[in-house]
């Protein structure tokens, strides 16, 4: 019951006061199956891209973080080809930094920030990470190409 009322509150906040460049909604009528869109930030290789995400809210939410993954392919050192995201706030302690005080809006904002500032020292994609570290121009080129190919409307 607590989970349902919290989710309703979070969704209505996301609808009335969404973070800049982020939208989130219920997928059909299921409260625990959400979709989100993140606009690629200005001055990033993802600029003008629209990235779709799937959010699955677990039974134990907010004591367990939602499972979030990209549905739109993205060229990024911390996001793999299945759309999984390597980000500490998406994992429970001791390895992660999830806390029940965090919410879906905070997570989506953190993901948006990760898109703008990849963390090459904690990669899911080692090859993209080394490209980011040692050949930034090639990384930016590839990321822009992927954005044009997969995230343009």
Each residue's pLDDT tens digit, 17-40: 999 999 999 988 788 899 999 999
Give the DSSP H or E segment for 30. Answer: strand 30-39
List C-alpha distances in Å: 53 to 121, 124, 130. 24, 17, 25
Question: What is the reported pLDDT for 33?
Answer: 94
pLDDT given at position 153:
78
pLDDT in tens, 36-57: 999 999 999 999 999 999 999 9
Closest alpha carbon to 54 in 74, 71, 79: 71
Q: What is the C-alpha to C-alpha distance for residues 114 and 76, in angstroms, rounded to an integer?
A: 9
| Sheet of strand 67-70: strand arrangement | 22-27, 30-39, 50-56, 67-70
Extents of the domains making up the chain: 1-151
Dist. CA 34–CA 52, nearest whole Å:
11
User: Can you give the pTM of this predicted structure?
Assistant: 0.95
Active site residues: 86
Among the four given CATH numbers 3.40.1190.20, 3.10.110.10, 3.40.710.10, 3.30.360.10, the one describing domain 1-151: 3.10.110.10
CA 112 to chain centre: 6
User: Per residue in 65-112, pLDDT tens?
Assistant: 999 999 999 999 999 999 999 999 999 999 999 999 999 999 999 999
pLDDT of residue 31: 80
How far is residue 65's CA from residue 103's CA, in Å, rounded to a whole number? 9
Instruction: Report how far residue 78's alpha carbon sits from residue 17's, in angstroms, rounded to the nearest whole number.
Output: 28
Whether residue 97 contacts residue 103, with contact meaning beta carbons closer than 8 Å, is answered with no
């Amino acid at each position: 019951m607590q989970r349902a009322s919290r989710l309703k509150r979070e969704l209505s906040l996301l609808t009335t006061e969404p973070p800049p460049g982020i939208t989130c909604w219920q997928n059909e009528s299921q409260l625990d199956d959400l979709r989100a869109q993140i606009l690629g930030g200005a001055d990033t290789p993802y600029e003008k891209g629209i990235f779709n995400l799937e959010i699955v809210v677990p039974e134990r939410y907010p004591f367990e973080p939602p499972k979030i993954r990209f549905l739109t392919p993205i060229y990024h050192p911390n996001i793999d080809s299945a759309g999984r995201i390597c980000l500490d706030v998406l994992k429970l302690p001791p390895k992660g930094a999830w806390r029940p005080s965090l919410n879906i809006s905070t997570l989506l904002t953190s993901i948006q920030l990760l898109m703008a500032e990849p963390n090459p020292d904690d990669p899911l994609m080692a090859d993209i990470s080394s490209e980011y570290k040692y050949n930034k121009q090639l990384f930016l080129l590839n990321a822009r190409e992927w954005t044009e190919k997969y995230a343009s409307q």
